[in-house]
Structure 1
């Protein structure tokens, strides 16, 4: 089993546009000292220049899926030259309250020399999805748009 950690730091400061409340801006420090400026979503009085927690979740899901996809494709003889994604998460109401209820991944992939057929591509995505730790941790519906 492995452990993964981060550090979050926030200090009270005035909100940039609403003097009746506080700033939601904070910093997340990741492995290697990487710092990510974060805030809540602008819909929740956050700073649009900061990453919000929901963006971090959808980014983590897309990254996890991609990393498993790259490994599986390579093992199957379909090395990837380029992989991009523009994941989108939707908030909705659940019995527990608001949550990410749907996340759509839209990977676009270019292969080095040999491209898998539709069935093989679907099998690689399915295998990547089943192995992705983040996908296995979420209750949101995860949709794959191969458009």
Structure 2
């Protein structure tokens, strides 16, 4: 169907290569030319000022839900004027004792304009349909929960 490629590069710094001390800063390059600097979480000795994989996963789910929601709203003849979200990825041990992202919560806040404004039931339906059709959510094992406001 389609391929989506990124490039990642990392180089050891002058510090000793020990788990507690090696630099986790790396570059991620996207096919459109954007570059992102990432690290691991501070809990795993990373730089908390840089994006980490857990945040990237949450942002992928959040962005996919948002884009799918806009498509469904437009096809349903609703005019979205603003969309905001504050996603949370929860990292914890699963039943096998492995650390995984067990849940991603989305908190979308959408405003509409025009003559056709969805009531809460219709809004929940739009989000449910977006969630069902979001290919990122459909691709991961973590539970994804939508909390529209």
TM-score, normalised with respect to structure 1: 0.92
- Number of residue pairs matched? 145
| Residue among 112, 118, 128 paired with 2:130 | 128
Which residue matches 1:12? 12
Which residue matches 2:118? 116
Contact 1:14 1:23 in 2 (8 A): no
CA–CA separation in structure 2 for the residues paired with 1:70 and 1:20: 44
Contact 1:14 1:21 in 2 (8 A): no
Which residue matches 1:68? 68
CA–CA separation in structure 2 for the residues paired with 1:131 and 1:145: 17
* Deviates further, 112-121 or 83-92: 112-121
Which stretches in structure 2 are left out of the alignment for 5+ residues?
Answer: none
Which residue matches 2:103? 102
Which residue matches 1:38? 38
TM-score, normalised with respect to structure 2: 0.91
**Counterpart secondary structure, 1:73:** helix
Instruction: Describe the shift of the 1:20–1:44 C-alpha distance in structure 2 as closer, same or farther (beyond 3 A).
Output: closer
Which residue matches 1:52? 52
